[in-house]
Amino acid sequence: MNSTRNRPALPLLSLLVLYVCHTIQPAQAQQSQSQATPALSSKPAAPKQPPAAKPLSETEELQQAIDRAGNDRASLVRNLEDFLKDYPESRQRPQIYRAIVEASLQLRDSPRATEYAERIVALTPEDMSMTLLAIQLLERNGDEAALRRALNYSTRVLDFIGNSSAGEKSPKVSKEQWELEQKRDKVNILVLRGRLAFKLHDNAAAEKDFRASMALSPSAAAGEKLGEIAELNKDLPAAIREYARAFALVDTSASATAANRREIRQKLGNVWRLAHGSDQGLGDYILHSYDEVIASLEAPKPKRNADAKEPYDFTLRKVPDGSPYALAEQKGKILVVNFWATWCGPCREMEPHFERVAAQFQGIADVIFLSADCDEDESLVLPYLQEEKPRTTVVFADGLDSLLTVNSFPTVVILDRSGKIAYRAEGFDPGDAETELSNAVRHALASQKEHARNFAHGAKSAL
């Protein structure tokens, strides 16, 4: 857990040795000082008697237990347990228990590690790191009694997180970082507690924790379990929905609990076939779910030109400075717009052809060429432009792509002087893209001139 109450400690055995040495040395020094001061007496010295064996203190016995073990961790565990039999109420129990837990884990003795981890939790319930270790060991054990104890411990950890305040954080950690860590911890513990409840067949409690976790931060682990619960409840549409979300979340999940995309895909395929009889339509459903999940994870963006009803109502932003580019100022002209995105390979190939066509009409004021970027992540655009260095005016699409139903890239649209679509080309064909676009622009200009002549003739007739 991320808490200033549980700071990283020295290795457990080192702590024991330091404590024992600290306790023994003052006593040895005092004994040496008393021996160094001879007693003054006029009587002849009596014959020396061998000193009586002095019983070892608790601290000295602990030191001996450690020394006798050397580097043998199995011996260390036996010696420390023997010591605890003689001194069951030793003040050093927390440190001794920790040493036994550490040695037992290295010896892969999970039952003993679990026993002493729980003893530490009983002595120091505020030790969240040891509580989490106890939960993991109990879950690994797998029997019902162990799972129920683990469930209780997980609730204790959630209460601890909920009762923590920013005033307890380290001054080196910002409030924003602390809040992010608290949220991450809560998400992980909710998934953990939900998993324990699920193993105990309390599906209602498990679903509640998984949904609470998803509300805080969607994860593949929680989504997969929600799919399993829906499948057990014979709710195939819900199972399909949850498995599809989990499948999409595998790459984005920050949960400490890993999810296997292959397994999720198998579960999703199984319930889809149960519901539909075959895999037909599953691919489209997965893609749709993926788009929905990714969109839900992105920070909401302000919708620009929300009230615009026609192209010339739009005010776009120029790249890179964001200055306004009002299409209303171009009304009555031919507008040639190339819609593109930085991730689109054909768009990169299309740009030089688009620029050469623009150069053909450079001196004609009635024709305007624009390159409209449609990236969702606008931070990608400037590095792209610095590399490609386009010569046409670059703007953000800012919703114009939606108005004109641009669904693929590149798409080139020619708007006539009234804002109607005079030409549209989707995709890129290197063989004739340049010639076709050039002819389309000339045709739009000719239509404009013809319209102007007809308008002038009609005006004269009216006079």
Identify the CATH number of the domain in which residue 63 sits: 1.25.40.10
Arithmetic mean of pLDDT over the chain: 86
Using CA atoms, how far apart are residues 401 and 142, in angstroms rounded to an integer? 56
Q: Are residues 11 and 122 in the same domain?
A: yes
Mark which of 298, 332, 364 sits at the end of a domain. Answer: 298
Q: Is residue 144 part of a domain?
A: yes
Quick one: CA torsion of 76, 79, 81, 82, rounded to 10 degrees? 180
Expressed as residue numbers, the domain containing 94 is: 1-29+57-165
Per the CB < 8 A criterion, the answer to whether 424 and 437 are in contact is: no
Tokens, residue 268: 């999703």
Q: Is residue 414 part of a domain?
A: yes
Per-residue pLDDT reduced to its tens digit, 183-197: 999 999 999 999 999
Q: Are residues 148 and 235 in the same domain?
A: no
Task: Name the pLDDT band for 170 (thresholds 50, 70, 90).
Answer: confident
More confident residue, 26 or 320: 320
Nearest to 231 by CA among 207, 258, 255: 207
Q: Are residues 95 and 7 in the same domain?
A: yes
Q: Are residues 143 and 115 in the same domain?
A: yes
Tokens, residue 218: 């969607």
Q: What is the mean pLDDT of residues 188-209?
A: 96
Q: Are residues 434 and 378 in the same domain?
A: yes
Q: What is the mean pLDDT of residues 363-391?
A: 91
Using CA atoms, how far apart are residues 451 and 448, in angstroms rounded to an integer? 5
Q: What is the pLDDT of residue 166?
A: 85
More confident residue, 248 or 1: 248
Total domains in the fold of the chain: 3
Q: What is the pLDDT of residue 398?
A: 95
Helix extents (H) in 173-202: 175-199
Per-residue pLDDT reduced to its tens digit, 41-92: 445 555 666 666 678 889 999 999 999 999 999 999 999 999 999 999 999 9
Beta strand residue intervals within 277-380, DSSP E: 315-318, 324-326, 334-340, 367-373
Per-residue pLDDT reduced to its tens digit, 400-417: 999 999 999 999 999 998
Q: What is the pLDDT of residue 46?
A: 57
Task: Name the pLDDT band for 30 (thresholds 50, 70, 90).
Answer: very low
Q: What is the DSSP letter of 166?
A: G
Taking the model in full, what pTM does it have?
0.66
Per-residue pLDDT reduced to its tens digit, 219-245: 999 999 999 999 999 999 999 999 999
Q: Are residues 318 and 275 in the same domain?
A: no
Q: Are residues 405 and 272 in the same domain?
A: no
Per-residue pLDDT reduced to its tens digit, 308-353: 999 999 999 999 889 999 999 999 999 999 999 999 999 999 999 9
Tokens, residue 99: 């040493």
Using CA atoms, how far apart are residues 334 and 423, in angstroms rounded to an integer? 11
Residue 344 designated active-site: yes
Q: Is residue 378 part of a domain?
A: yes
Per-residue pLDDT reduced to its tens digit, 86-137: 999 999 999 999 999 999 999 999 999 999 999 999 999 999 999 999 999 9
Per the CB < 8 A criterion, the answer to whether 339 and 305 are in contact is: no
Q: Are residues 121 and 258 in the same domain?
A: no
Q: Is residue 426 part of a domain?
A: yes
Q: Is residue 231 part of a domain?
A: yes
**What percent of the chain is predicted at pLDDT more than 90?**
69
Per the CB < 8 A criterion, the answer to whether 1 and 129 are in contact is: yes
Give the active site residue among 17, 105, 216, 344.
Answer: 344
Q: What is the pLDDT of residue 271?
A: 96
CATH of the domain at 376: 3.40.30.10
Q: Are residues 281 and 135 in the same domain?
A: no
Q: Quote the radius of gyration of the chain (alpha carbons, Å).
A: 38
Q: Are residues 352 and 280 in the same domain?
A: no
Give the active site residue among 230, 249, 347, 441.
Answer: 347
Q: Is residue 255 part of a domain?
A: yes
Q: What is the chain's length?
A: 463
Q: Is residue 191 part of a domain?
A: no
Q: Is residue 333 part of a domain?
A: yes
Residue 347 designated active-site: yes
Lowest mean pLDDT among 211-215, 257-261, 298-302, 458-462: 458-462
Q: Are residues 317 and 432 in the same domain?
A: yes
Q: Are residues 153 and 206 in the same domain?
A: no
Task: Name the pLDDT band for 157 (thresholds 50, 70, 90).
Answer: very high
Q: What is the pLDDT of residue 25?
A: 47
